[in-house]
């Protein structure tokens, strides 16, 4: 696709960094009537039409792509290849959680084989086949990067058909090898197993994608004066000029720490009910959840109830190469509270006061950390990981535990407790 390049502009603006550093906001966007000739601006909202039909889809009007599906590919005017591809995400599918990490500039996207009954590449929209092709290309031969189309990431805002542009992306990432950037994962649905892809993309440091370049892509002439410099640099050298936007001090609200869907509430409440008569039993479950979330937890042991001093478990987190690792010690405290009953300053202080030198803390709760406690934790820069109710649900869903029945089966298997207070599998 590309055969040469003008001198690259090495300057990077801070516009895109500030855009991704803040949480997405869905204020007034680009009107539907103006989508035909607008640029793509990071985190800008592009409005859908007011008609309830598919003709109101903003991506179709703006980029002339299909009006449905996660993969929306666009061929060149000569039909000799793909000009670009749109990756569309709702951002709220708990079973297939597409995730953008502003701090790293990485975007994790799941393929389109989301139900059993088909081989991984045999999807109607051909999304997984496209993933296979582009990731094969970037690892097979450097010259084949020229055949990889740019990817434009859009996320649904939740308001009508409005979408938000999240950035210009390319497959892979700095330091991510071929065994990690495109991974086939197994899932089970109604007792039937199937595979899907989990792909890693890098969001390039480009605050604006000009309309002029979009037109050039359609004409199969991507080497155009308007082409983004970071994209050209990646094609020519393989270097990822990634948009990294470090967060400011983050204090999650109560709503952010708790599930937002009825099915997720059912999962969390099932855990609370299972341990409600003996919260001490939740300590082992909390340590297990922490290890599920962080596989580099090498070992841990539970503390005795009689000598519990604000630490329900202690263990080690391993860093570095397998041949010469180092271990950081952690202390974990578990709080099996009603999801509506927050963990306050007193409980948090108890854990912090007992952290030893070079030790970090882990708080696992079926509820949430109160605003005041969260503020003190972050403002004073205490090294404590907070795993709240919503985090617990995400950890379990990533392991294929997606409903009340699944979680009860898991609890009975991993933490068998006899007694009438524990829910059955019905």
Q: For residues 196 and 120, give the distance between their C-alpha atoms in angstroms, rounded to a whole number.
A: 6
Q: For residues 182 and 199, give the distance between their C-alpha atoms in angstroms, rounded to a whole number.
A: 5
Q: Please, are residues 151 and 71 in contact by the beta-carbon 8 Å criterion?
A: no
- b/e 99-136 (16+ beta carbons within 10 angstroms → b): ebebebbbbebbbbbbeeeeebbebebbbbbbbbbbbe
Class of domain 254-414: alpha beta
Each domain of the chain, given as residue ranges in start order, spans 15-237, 254-414
> Within 10 A of 259 (CB to CB), how many other CB atoms are there?
22
Q: Which stretches of the chain score pLDDT less than 70? A: 1-28, 249, 305-311, 418-426
40-41 vs 82-89, strand pairing mode: unpaired
pTM attached to this predicted model: 0.73
Residues with Cβ within 8 Å of residue 111, at least 6 apart in sequence: 120, 123, 127, 128, 131, 196, 197, 198, 199
Q: For residues 139 and 136, give the distance between their C-alpha atoms in angstroms, rounded to a whole number.
A: 5
Question: What per-residue confidence (pLDDT) applies to 84?
Answer: 95
What are the backbone dihedrals phi and psi of residue 201, each rounded to the nearest 5 degrees, phi first? -120, 160
Q: For residues 219 and 89, give the distance between their C-alpha atoms in angstroms, rounded to a whole number.
A: 27
Q: For residues 120 and 111, give the distance between their C-alpha atoms in angstroms, rounded to a whole number.
A: 9
Degrees (nearest 5) of the Cα angle 202, 208, 214?
A: 90
Q: Would the CA dihedral through 83, 230, 183, 144 be positive or negative?
A: positive
Q: What is the CATH number of domain 15-237?
A: 2.30.280.20
Burial class (CB in 10 A: 0-12, 13-18, 19+), 383: middle
Among the listed residues 41, 14, 11, the one whose alpha carbon sits nearest the alpha carbon of residue 29 = 41
Question: What per-residue confidence (pLDDT) applies to 248?
Answer: 74
Q: For residues 166 and 26, give the distance between their C-alpha atoms in angstroms, rounded to a whole number.
A: 12
Q: For residues 231 and 211, give the distance between their C-alpha atoms in angstroms, rounded to a whole number.
A: 15
The owner of tokens 């599906």 is 69
Do domains 15-237 and 254-414 share one topology? The answer is no
Question: What per-residue confidence (pLDDT) applies to 17?
Answer: 38
| Helix, coil or strand: residue 140 | helix
């Amino acid at each position: 696709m590309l055969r040469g390049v003008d001198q690259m502009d090495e300057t990077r603006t801070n516009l895109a960094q500030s855009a991704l550093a803040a949480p997405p906001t869905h204020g007034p966007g680009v009107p539907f009537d103006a989508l035909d000739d607008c640029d793509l601006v990071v985190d800008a909202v592009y409005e859908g039409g007011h008609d309830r039909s598919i003709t109101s889809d903003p991506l179709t009007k703006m980029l002339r792509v299909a009006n449905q599906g996660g993969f929306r590919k666009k061929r060149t005017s000569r039909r000799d290849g793909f000009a670009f591809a749109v990756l569309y995400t709702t951002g709220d599918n708990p079973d297939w959680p597409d995730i953008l990490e502003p701090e790293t500039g990485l975007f994790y996207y799941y393929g389109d084989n989301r139900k059993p009954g088909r081989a991984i590449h045999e999807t109607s929209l051909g999304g997984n086949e496209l993933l296979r092709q582009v990731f094969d290309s970037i690892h097979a031969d450097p010259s084949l990067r020229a055949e990889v189309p740019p990817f434009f990431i859009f996320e649904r805002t939740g308001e009508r058909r409005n979408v938000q542009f999240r950035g210009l992306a390319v497959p892979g990432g700095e330091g991510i090898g071929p065994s990690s950037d495109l991974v086939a994962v197994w899932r089970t649905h109604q007792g039937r197993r199937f595979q899907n892809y989990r792909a890693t993309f890098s969001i390039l440091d480009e605050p604006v994608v000009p309309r002029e370049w979009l037109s050039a892509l359609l004409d199969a002439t991507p080497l155009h004066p308007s082409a983004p410099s970071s994209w050209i640099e990646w094609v020519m050298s393989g270097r990822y000029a990634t948009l990294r936007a470090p967060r400011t001090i983050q204090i999650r609200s109560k709503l952010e720490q708790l599930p937002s869907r009825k099915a997720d509430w059912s999962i969390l409440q099932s855990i609370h009910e299972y341990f409600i008569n003996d919260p001490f039993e939740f300590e082992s479950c909390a340590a297990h959840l922490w290890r599920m979330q962080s596989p580099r937890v090498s070992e841990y042991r539970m503390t005795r109830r009689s000598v519990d001093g604000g630490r329900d478990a202690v263990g080690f987190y391993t860093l570095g190469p397998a041949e010469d690792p180092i271990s950081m010690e952690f202390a974990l405290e578990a709080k099996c509270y009603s999801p509506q009953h927050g963990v306050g300053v007193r409980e948090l202080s108890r854990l912090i006061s007992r952290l030893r030198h070079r030790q970090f803390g882990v708080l696992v709760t079926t509820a949430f950390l109160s605003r005041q406690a969260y503020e003190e934790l972050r403002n004073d820069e205490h090294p404590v990981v907070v795993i709240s109710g919503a985090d617990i649900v995400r950890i379990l869903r990533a392991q294929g535990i997606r409903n009340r029945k699944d979680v009860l089966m898991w609890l009975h298997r991993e933490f068998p407790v006899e007694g009438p207070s524990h829910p059955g599998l019905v």
